[in-house]
Structure 1
Amino acid sequence: MPDFSAIRGVLFDKDGTLVDFNRTWFPVVMALAREARSGDEDEARALVERGGYDWTEQRFRSGSAVAAGTNADIVDLFHPELAGEEREAKIAAFNAITTQEGARRAVAINGLAAAIRQLSSGGMLLGIATNDSEAGARATATALGLGDQFHSIIGYDSVAQPKPWPDQLHLFAQRTGLAPSAIAMVGDNNHDLDMAHAAGAGLAIGVLSGNSTRAELSNRAHVIVDSVADLPALFGRKG
């Protein structure tokens, strides 16, 4: 059994962990695909499928470009013809759109607010590490009424290399003064858990509220729970 008593900080992935990934992001990604294909609905649907959407299951697949990638990755998929300054401008445009729309459409995981407040009041230092932009993560946390609960919010554009590289967790450790071994990383995709292992985190916790199954997470997670709502009991913070 992992040593939960050694954990002093919890770093959360955002999409699929704090917010319902598919309900929040499908309409945004679909709108971006329509724009990329000049309104051609069939081509837009095909592009979203290439981004990882399973039209039968009506969800994005675990580890897909949309589920696990950054806005830069999605721009490269949706607009492969762009390079240099045009590519950078499109990434900036995607960042602006996803910041606004991600916050406006954010659907919180059931029990999120209570869980976050219980962990925080119990003395845990909390953070967000996402492959969304930092501005997007801040806007979503604010929209959910939880912006003041997070010690640090870290986007893909806050570090040299985003998940699955260790940079985001190491930055959280630096900002909080915690050793990586005192930090638990919580996420719904293996790139979250891969970052935890690469950074030397104390725990890699998988959640089933996003795009991955228990089987997909089992090889990389120390612990798997249904959602963040289960975390206060796991850490003995019942507030």
Structure 2
Amino acid sequence: MAGLKGILFDKDGTLLDFDATWAPATHAVLEELSAGQTKLFEAMAAACGLNLNTMQFLPGSPIIAGDTADYAPVWADLLACPFDTDFEMRINALYRSASLLSLKGYDDVAPAIATLAKAGYQIGMATNDAESTARAHLRALGVEEQFSFVAGYDSGYGAKPAPGMVLAFADFLGVKPEQIALIGDSTHDMDAARAAGAHAIGIARTPAARDALNGHTDITVTDLQGLIDEVTNRVW
């Protein structure tokens, strides 16, 4: 345990209920972008893998693990406008506002973060969301002050599955990557951890996450208490 210094969390699907937060937010964003054009709205929803009947994302949706540049260019094409910095910033701003209205964090987030911080671990976040949105979400969950490091896809370290965020967290703490554990629900998270030389801990809160993570993790837990148990009992 003494060898582990930093715990780096993914956000969506790890700390936040993904579908409960992002399906309503995406619906609101697409309503704004499509401006009442039903067929355009439906085409944009289909392009990002949002099932409008179930309000869930289909497996393989670029929104699940990707960043804005992975899903917004096709919206720009459908709107017949360029995918440029202005459009990207508009999408991020719309999502920030909409997701704060539908934000649903898991019940174990605040107590688990407090327990880990009290135990002396440095807490960070590595998300393919925008950094400003990530900070707004942490603030809304009441845990922002316990995160010494927050990186989004636009923070200058690259996006997952590249290792930049993990390496930046290790540099920030002044420790080796193998003293970092990345906690996430997708293969992007696990690949980023492995590429950096950090511990890859999967959190399978849903059957879909369990299936996606199968064979890709060093350790798999089902909730944050499971993470605390692993951190406490394992020799790192």
The answer to whether the superposition gives a TM-score over 0.5 is: yes
Displacement of 1:205 after TM fit? 1.1
* Cα pair distance change 1:58/1:105, threshold 3 Å: closer
Match of 1:212 in 2: 208
Q: CA RMSD in A?
A: 2.1
Listed as ranges, the gaps of 5+ residues in structure 2 are: none
Match of 2:118 in 1: 121
Would the aligned equivalents of 1:61 and 1:212 in 2 still touch at CA under 8 Å?
A: no
* Cα pair distance change 1:224/1:54, threshold 3 Å: farther
Match of 2:222 in 1: 226
Q: Aligned pair count?
A: 231
TM-score, normalised relative to structure 1: 0.88
Distance 2:129 2:16 in 1: 13
Instruction: Find 2:109's aligned residue among 108, 112, 118.
Output: 112
Distance 1:62 1:166 in 2: 24
Would the aligned equivalents of 1:188 and 1:211 in 2 still touch at CA under 8 Å?
A: no
Distance 1:63 1:196 in 2: 21
TM-score, normalised relative to structure 2: 0.89
Displacement of 1:180 after TM fit? 0.7
Distance 1:55 1:219 in 2: 31
Instruction: Find 1:47's aligned residue among 28, 44, 48.
Output: 44
Q: Deviations over 1:193-235 (max 9, x none)?
A: 111111111x111112268332321121111111224211221
Q: Deviations over 1:163-185 (max 9, x none)?
A: 11111111111111121101111
**Pairing 1:95–2:129 present:** no
For residue 111 of structure 1, what is the amino acid of its counterpart?
Answer: D
Listed as ranges, the gaps of 5+ residues in structure 1 are: none
Among all aligned residue pairs of Structure 1 and Structure 2, give the percentage whose two residues are the same amino acid: 33
Q: Deviations over 1:130-186 (max 9, x none)?
A: 111111111110111001111100010012421111111111111111211011111
Distance 2:207 2:28 in 1: 21
Distance 1:137 1:22 in 2: 16
Would the aligned equivalents of 1:173 and 1:179 in 2 still touch at CA under 8 Å?
A: yes
What's the secondary structure of 2:132's corresponding residue? helix
